[in-house]
C-alpha cells in the first residue's frame, strides 16, 4: 500500500515546517504554505514524511494510505 501526504487546509496556518523537514516532498509557496508533490512516498522519504506529520504545529499534515493503481505495476 502506497502512502501520500495530504494537507487539512482548515488547520494549516502556513508555518512551513513541513517544507523544512521534508524538502523532497513538500515545496513552500511565497507565504510558506505547503505544495505537496503528488508522487507516492517511498524509501527514506517516508521517514521525512512521518517526521513532518509529527512535527506540524497545527496537525494539518496527514500521511494517508492509498491503494496502488493496478494499471501501474
Tens-place pLDDT, residues 5-61: 999 999 999 999 999 999 999 999 999 999 999 889 988 899 999 999 999 999 999
Query: Cα–Cα distances in Å, from 2 out to 8, 34, 52, 66?
Result: 19, 20, 17, 5
Half-sphere exposure of 8 (CA within 13 A, CB side): 12
Q: What is the pTM of this model?
A: 0.86
Higher per-residue pLDDT: 15 or 72? 15
Residue 63 near residue 50, CB atoms below 8 Å: yes
**What is the pLDDT, as a whole number, of residue 66?**
87
Helices (H), the chain: 17-21, 44-55
Amino acid at each position: 500500500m502506497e502512502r501520500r501526504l495530504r494537507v487539512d487546509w482548515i488547520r494549516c496556518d502556513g508555518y512551513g515546517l513541513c517544507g523544512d523537514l521534508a524538502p523532497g516532498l513538500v515545496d513552500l509557496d511565497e507565504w510558506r504554505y505547503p505544495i505537496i508533490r503528488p508522487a507516492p512516498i517511498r524509501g527514506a522519504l517516508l521517514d521525512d514524511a512521518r517526521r513532518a506529520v509529527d512535527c506540524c504545529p497545527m496537525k494539518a499534515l496527514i500521511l494517508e494510505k492509498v491503494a496502488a493503481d493496478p494499471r501501474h505495476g
